[in-house]
């Protein structure tokens, strides 16, 4: 377990660290020299269905912004790490960046969910402005398949111009951009998956009708126009 923790490439981005966009790009080039970028976005179908757990594909959508909501203990982070681990293991040429503004990312736990830490770059920014700069550089590079921004519960919704700029980068590069929020929504995402103690809401386009069950959690679609 200790080896898994030490294997993950990471650095702290603070005002005193003097982090520049070029330094971040150099780090990405060094860590992910053979990375491939895949294009494509999933369709969103109106309607509702029920499911026990959201399919992994609902959490990582290429070319789209997905918001994963849920307070501590709701299972949102566990489901996200499980999806990320499955995706990276199934595609050895893919890489991911985890921007941990919340400060709760625990590498050994991620390794238990199958996340190959040698293909995950962990960035712990000092403040939101730095976190957003890191995200935008990663989206522009085209070498990273998935970018996760983990934000604290106290974060206010992002300014719309900032969100639309990031969303445009996501669609241009085909990257899966996931915002891990807590108690309230912070972005008008293309798709939203909300976890609760008893209820899970997911975009219905990826839920099979056979998964319907009266005792299962309710599913609903979220749109960017919310």
Query: What confidence tens digit (pLDDT) does each residue in 153-179 have?
Result: 899 899 999 999 999 999 999 999 999
Q: Is the pLDDT of residue 143 over 50?
A: yes
Cα–Cα distance, 42 to 204 (Å, whole number): 11
Q: Which domains does the chain carry? A: 2-218 (3.40.50.300)
pLDDT band, very low/low/confident/very high, at 112 (cuts 50, 70, 90): very high
Q: Is the pLDDT of residue 2 over 60?
A: no
Cα–Cα distance, 1 to 55 (Å, whole number): 28
For the chain, what percent of residues have pLDDT higher than 90?
A: 43
Q: Is the pLDDT of residue 204 over 80?
A: no
Condensed to tens digits (0 to 9), the pLDDT of residues 8-61 reads 555 555 454 555 666 666 776 676 665 533 322 223 333 333 445 567 888 999
Residues 6+ apart with CB under 8 A from 112: none
């Amino acid at each position: 377990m200790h080896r898994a923790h030490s294997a993950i490439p990471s650095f702290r981005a603070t005002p005193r660290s003097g982090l520049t966009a070029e330094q971040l790009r150099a780090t990405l080039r060094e860590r992910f020299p053979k990375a491939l970028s895949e294009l494509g976005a999933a369709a969103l179908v109106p309607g509702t269905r029920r499911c026990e757990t959201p399919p992994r594909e609902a959490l990582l959508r290429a070319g789209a912004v997905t918001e994963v909501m849920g307070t501590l203990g709701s299972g949102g982070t566990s489901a996200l790490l499980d999806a990320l681990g499955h995706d990276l293991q199934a595609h050895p040429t893919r890489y991911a960046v985890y921007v941990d503004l919340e400060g709760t990312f625990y590498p050994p736990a991620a390794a238990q969910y199958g996340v190959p830490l040698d293909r995950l770059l962990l960035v712990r920014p000092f403040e939101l402005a730095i976190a957003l700069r890191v995200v935008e550089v990663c989206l522009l590079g085209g070498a990273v398949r998935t970018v996760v921004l983990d934000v604290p519960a106290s974060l206010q919704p992002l300014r719309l111009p900032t969100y639309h700029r990031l969303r445009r980068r996501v669609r241009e590069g085909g990257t899966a951009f996931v915002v891990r929020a807590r108690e309230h929504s912070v972005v008008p995402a293309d798709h939203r998956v909300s976890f609760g103690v008893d209820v899970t809401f997911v975009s219905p386009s990826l839920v099979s009708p056979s998964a319907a069950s009266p005792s299962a959690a309710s599913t609903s679609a979220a749109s960017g126009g919310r």
